[in-house]
């Protein structure tokens, strides 16, 4: 059976970003996942920084909020759900939870602490976005197939329009990257790139959904 026989039943989609309705969610670009000495480092994080900075700068210039999402886990839990599956990481109050310096996160921007993969699960992210009258999201960070994907799913379930710039994300491997982006593009949102998202913020250019091989 053709693997795409189900997912091929899709509507063509594009996105018009409106800075008055949009926000950027930067997911888990923290020391423990990116920097030498981190508990669970994804190699090659540095390739994500230039395109991420392009989107962040364009959003700020357009007046759209940038929201920083930090994975964080309390000490001495009897059963942390993530630690049942993953090496302990991002313990609250440690260097590992902090956003990498490369991205220039600001204290006057919103920072959301999460204890599970999704930035929405039992956090105040949804109510915060609704209070800001935001219904469009640009989502990126690490890793594509776990925390980014979970956040995108919940954004879709909560009624947000979502765009993921593919060059601003990295997965645990090439297969996982392409599979996750394919599923996002066909079921949950729009997959584009940093240049297109920055242009949408700066000039109102339309963001086209990328065709990704099944």
pLDDT at 185 over 50: yes
**What DSSP character marks residue 69?**
E
Q: Write down the catalytic residue from 34, 90, 147, 168.
A: 147
Q: Write down the catalytic residue from 114, 168, 169, 193.
A: 114
Query: For the domain bounded by 17-205, which CATH number is listed?
Result: 3.40.50.850
E-strand stretches of 109-154 = 110-114, 136-142
The CA-based dihedral angle spanning residues 169, 144, 130, 54, taken in that order and rounded to the nearest 10 degrees: 0
130 catalytic? Reply is: no
C-beta of residue 169 within 8 angstroms of C-beta of residue 140 = yes
Q: Closest Cα to residue 19, out of 185, 153, 137? A: 137
114 catalytic? Reply is: yes
Dump pLDDT digits (tens) for 67-107. 999 998 887 767 766 766 777 787 899 999 999 999 999 99
């Amino acid at each position: 059976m053709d693997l795409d026989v189900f997912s091929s039943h899709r509507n063509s989609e594009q996105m018009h970003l409106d800075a008055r309705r949009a926000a950027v969610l930067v997911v888990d670009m923290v020391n423990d996942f990116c920097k030498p000495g981190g508990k669970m480092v994804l190699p090659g994080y540095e390739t994500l920084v230039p395109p991420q900075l392009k989107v962040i700068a364009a959003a700020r210039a357009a007046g759209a909020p940038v929201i920083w999402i930090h994975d964080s886990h309390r000490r001495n839990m009897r059963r942390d759900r993530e630690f049942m599956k993953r090496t302990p990481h991002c313990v609250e109050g440690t260097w590992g939870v902090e956003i990498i310096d490369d991205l220039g996160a600001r204290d006057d921007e919103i920072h959301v602490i999460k204890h599970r993969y999704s930035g929405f699960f039992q956090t105040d992210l949804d109510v915060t976005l609704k209070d800001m009258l935001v219904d469009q999201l640009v989502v990126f960070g690490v890793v594509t197939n776990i925390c980014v994907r979970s956040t995108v799913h919940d954004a879709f379930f909560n009624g947000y329009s979502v765009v993921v710039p593919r060059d601003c994300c990295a997965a645990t491997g090439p297969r996982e990257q392409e599979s996750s982006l394919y599923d996002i593009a066909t079921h949950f949102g729009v997959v584009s790139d940093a240049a297109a998202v920055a242009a949408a913020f700066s000039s109102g250019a339309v963001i086209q959904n990328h065709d990704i091989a099944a």
